[in-house]
Amino acid sequence: MSTPVEYQRRGSVGVITVNNPPVNALSTAVRQGIADGLARAAADPDARAAVIIGAGRTFIAGADIREFGKPLQPPDLNEVIRHIEQSTKPVVAALHGTALGGGFEVALGCHYRCAVPTAQLGFPEVKLGLLPGAGGTQRLPRVVGVEAALRMITSGDPIPAAQAKALGLVDEIVQGELLDGAVAFAERLAAEGKPLRKISEMQDKVGDVAPALFDEFRKGLGKSARGFEAPQRCADAVQAAATLPFAEGLKRERELFAGLMQGTQSKAQIHIFFSEREVTKIPDVPKETPVKPIGSAAVLGAGTMGGGIAMNFANAGIPVRVLEMSQEALDRGLAVVRKNYAATVEKGRLSQADMDRRMSLIGGTLSYGDIGSADIVVEAVFEEMAVKKQVFGILEKAARPDAILATNTSTLDIDEIASATSRPGQVIGTHFFSPANVMRLLEIVRGARTSKETIATAMDLARKIRKVGVLVGNCDGFVGNRMLHGYIREAEFLLAEGALPQQVDRVIYDFGLPMGPFTMGDLAGLDVGWRIRKGKAATRPTHLRYSPIGDRICEMGRFGQKTGAGWYRYEKGSRAPIPDPEIEALILRTAKEQGIERRQISDDEILKRCMYPLINEGARILEEGKALRASDIDVIYIYGYGFPVYRGGPMFYADTVGLGAVYDTICGFHKVHGEFWQPAPLLERLAREGKRFRDL
Ligand code: T1G
């Protein structure tokens, strides 16, 4: 096999080229190849300097994550970087694409760095539950100072070359061809006899740093880092750079890195890193399936969902026309869109010019005659089957014959909707999550007759509009909401049995979700679920336990935040949930009425009663083939429901608990609480075989 690193002299410069597609990850062979290339440059009498460059689309984008968890083969990256820094000839890093993680660390081991204007540099390790483990936490602060290093390493976000130059991380921006520029730069360095600048020897920026700065910084990490270990350890590592000599700081960094690598959080976050790429692979829809170009779109309905969906198209530069039934509804809907953009401009996350450009891409109309040119029509009208079928009947004639007809239904049967048209192959579900312009998850629901091209086009569109598109099967609630039924049901049952909304919400919040089921219900609006439950009341099996508490709250006109009261009450203008004695009284009354003896319920039972229905239903969904992989279900819960990424999603979390333990607990609940807790056969099988969901 050709080595992934080549050495070739250009003029008086030894060029070491890393060629390990797709992202030049630092596999064992690459690490060895760089070391060999360095040795050749050192031994090459005609080489007065060396350049390290990446072939293809990027410089080295980091350690090879696929090697994690396996025994580390020599040479150790720290060793390779030490060789670079100890080289007696100047070594220049030539950066393009994304110099990330270990790649950025290799660049910091070099004496100088040059980059094309579009290059980016960053330490994304924290997003994998790790920290830069090859000197990054020790060298970066020595160049940019402790505060900038803390921000860069704990955010994980890359910075553009120009900013890197301003920070002293890049010495020269190369406007032309990178290799030519880098070789010329290296030759100049050699000719001028420039000192070999070793970052590890730079002390002035890490000398006298007030210890309080680190505590302040840790406190400032705030909500976004809640529950994550890695950001805290990153701060510890940078603090070591400011308090220990380089060699000891490196050792401390290694200890902290090893601790994170052995922990569950990094395994969970790496699981999601690969899982969110895996979701794009659909066994029966090969990569080469033709994709229809989506140059224009139409959205039916300018309500909360319709407006948010339209914004997704405009954000991706796709002109979109929103259709409503009345001018008043259309104006109201577009005004909400404008308000949403203005709020983003207000926060400085969008320029006024960009907002204006996006608004100019969003047209409005009252006539179906205006959507005949759209490549895709997304219906986001009232969640009633009759209405949906009527609309699709009209689309049959109004939409272009080859247009894709997508429904944003959150639970209705895609096949029944498709039956209202003569083109079921072009009908697909695109279930956006509210708020549609914010939540990144898009459940793409395939009907029985949805064509492969339609699926491939929808999956490609998800990527274009910056959504994480997950293909799911057609069933009640699809995947995410179907699993959520049991979670909500058990949360309400726990109230009658002895818990209160604030206890359940605290347990779920502490587990890592952004909010518990009752706070979430009040935010989303309780009337939506109430209408669905009323629609199903006639067919609800009477022998199964049912909690009327949620219905009674709605009958009191309490729909949550939008009416100032729901499970909690809210002070005017505030979204802070306040426990309401009226709700506690309602809970007590209902328990009495149902003859339930209330008891003290432990936090542990609450967590299991709420989390395990997700796992059990997820297992059923896998068995039925309504999700392609357990990891797809994890991606749905991370991106659609805010499941903490450091727990990897409900199925990964189940694997970390152990399916045997999960199965035993569910059997226990089954004995006490009956049919709802019937263990899923797949869960039972895996538990008996001592296997995990990820072994499927
Ligand atoms: N290792 C192994 N495979 C990787 C990889 C990596 N670091 N990065 C990407 N891939 C695979 C990815 O799974 C996909 O595979 C293909 O490459 C294209 O990726 C010691 C310990 C670089 C911005 O965290 O952020 O260094 O699906 O679809 O959209 O201190 O990949 O085709 O089979 O994402 O153009 C730090 C992670 C590692 C960077 C390119 N580095 N990668 O995005 O392509 S830890 C990272 C990315 C570390 C050191 C520490 C992105 C990208 P497949 P892609 P893209």
Q: Which residue, judged by its Cα, is nearest atom 34 of ligand 1?
A: 277
| 213: pLDDT strictly greater than 60 | yes
Residues 180-189: what's their mean pLDDT? 96
CB 590 within 8 A of CB 549: yes
CB 92 within 8 A of CB 182: yes
CATH 3.90.226.10, the chain: domain bounds? 5-262
- Specify the 3-state DSSP secondary structure of 274: helix
| CATH number of this structure's domain 481-625+658-695, picked from the four choices 1.10.1040.50, 3.30.390.30, 2.40.50.140, 3.20.20.70 | 1.10.1040.50
CB 317 within 8 A of CB 442: no
**Cis peptide leading into 517, omega within 30 of 0?**
no
pLDDT for 32-58, tens place per residue?
Answer: 999 999 999 999 999 999 999 999 999
| 393: pLDDT strictly greater than 60 | yes
Pick the closest to residue 283 from 456, 525, 494 (CA basis): 456
Measured between its terminal Cα atoms, the distance across the chain in Å is 32
Q: How far is the CA of 61 from the centre of ligand 1 (A)?
A: 6
Placement of tokens 């796709």 in the chain = 318
Nearest-atom number in ligand 1 for the CA of 273 is 13
Placement of tokens 């140059």 in the chain = 295
> d(Cα 407, Cα 246) in Å, to the nearest integer?
58
Q: How far is the CA of 25 from the centre of ligand 1 (A)?
A: 7
Q: Please state, for a pLDDT cut of 90, what percent of the chain lies above it.
A: 93
Q: How far is the CA of 240 from the centre of ligand 1 (A)?
A: 28
DSSP class of 260: H
Which of 355-393 are b and which e, b meaning 16 or more Cβ less than 10 Å from the residue's Cβ?
A: beebeebbbbeeebeebeebbbbbbbbebeeeebbebbe
630, two tokens? 């357990």
Please give the pLDDT value at position 2: 67
Pick the closest to residue 404 from 355, 461, 464, 486 (CA basis): 461
pTM, whole model, 2 decimals?
0.95
Cβ-proximal residues to 270 (8 Å cutoff; 6+ apart), any chain: 65, 68, 128, 129
For the Cβ of 136 lying below 6 angstroms from any atom of ligand 1, the answer is yes
Q: Please state, for a pLDDT cut of 70, what percent of the chain lies above it.
A: 100
617, two tokens? 């239903």
CATH 1.10.1040.50, the chain: domain bounds? 481-625+658-695
CB 140 within 8 A of CB 153: yes
Residues 146-170: what's their mean pLDDT? 97
On the 0-12 / 13-18 / 19+ scale of CB atoms within 10 A, 122 is: buried
Please give the pLDDT value at position 298: 98
> d(Cα 477, Cα 354) in Å, to the nearest integer?
36
DSSP class of 75: S
Please give the pLDDT value at position 528: 83
Pick the closest to residue 84 from 19, 177, 14 (CA basis): 14
Query: CA angle 150-152-155, nearest 5°?
Result: 95
| 10: pLDDT strictly greater than 80 | yes
Q: Which residues are paired to 7 by β-bridges? A: 16
107, two tokens? 């660049």
Superfamily, domain 297-476 = NAD(P)-binding Rossmann-like Domain (3.40.50.720)
Please give the pLDDT value at position 450: 98
pLDDT for 420-430, tens place per residue?
Answer: 999 999 999 99
For the Cβ of 134 lying below 6 angstroms from any atom of ligand 1, the answer is yes
For the Cβ of 54 lying below 6 angstroms from any atom of ligand 1, the answer is no
> d(Cα 453, Cα 640) in Å, to the nearest integer?
25
| pLDDT band per the 50, 70, 90 thresholds, residue 1 | low
Please give the pLDDT value at position 470: 98
| 95: pLDDT strictly greater than 90 | yes
pLDDT for 557-604, tens place per residue?
Answer: 999 999 999 999 999 989 999 999 999 999 999 999 999 999 999 999
CB atoms within 10 A of CB 671: 9
pLDDT for 362-388, tens place per residue?
Answer: 999 999 999 999 999 999 998 889 999
CATH 3.40.50.720, the chain: domain bounds? 297-476
* 5-262 fold: 2-enoyl-CoA Hydratase; Chain A, domain 1 (3.90.226)
For 454-482, what is the HEC assignment?
HHHHHHHHHHHCCCEEEEEECCCCCCHHH
CB atoms within 10 A of CB 138: 30
> d(Cα 48, Cα 190) in Å, to the nearest integer?
6
CA 616 to chain centre: 23
| 439: pLDDT strictly greater than 80 | yes
Q: Name the helix (H) or strand (E) containing 472.
A: strand 468-473
CB 173 within 8 A of CB 114: yes
pLDDT for 627-669, tens place per residue?
Answer: 999 999 999 999 999 999 999 999 999 999 999 999 999 999 9
For the Cβ of 132 lying below 6 angstroms from any atom of ligand 1, the answer is yes
Compute the mean pLDDT over every residue in the chain, rounded to the nearest whole number: 96
pLDDT for 320-353, tens place per residue?
Answer: 999 999 999 999 999 999 999 999 999 999 999 9
Q: How far is the CA of 80 from the centre of ligand 1 (A)?
A: 21
- Specify the 3-state DSSP secondary structure of 383: coil
Amino acid code (one letter) for 102: G
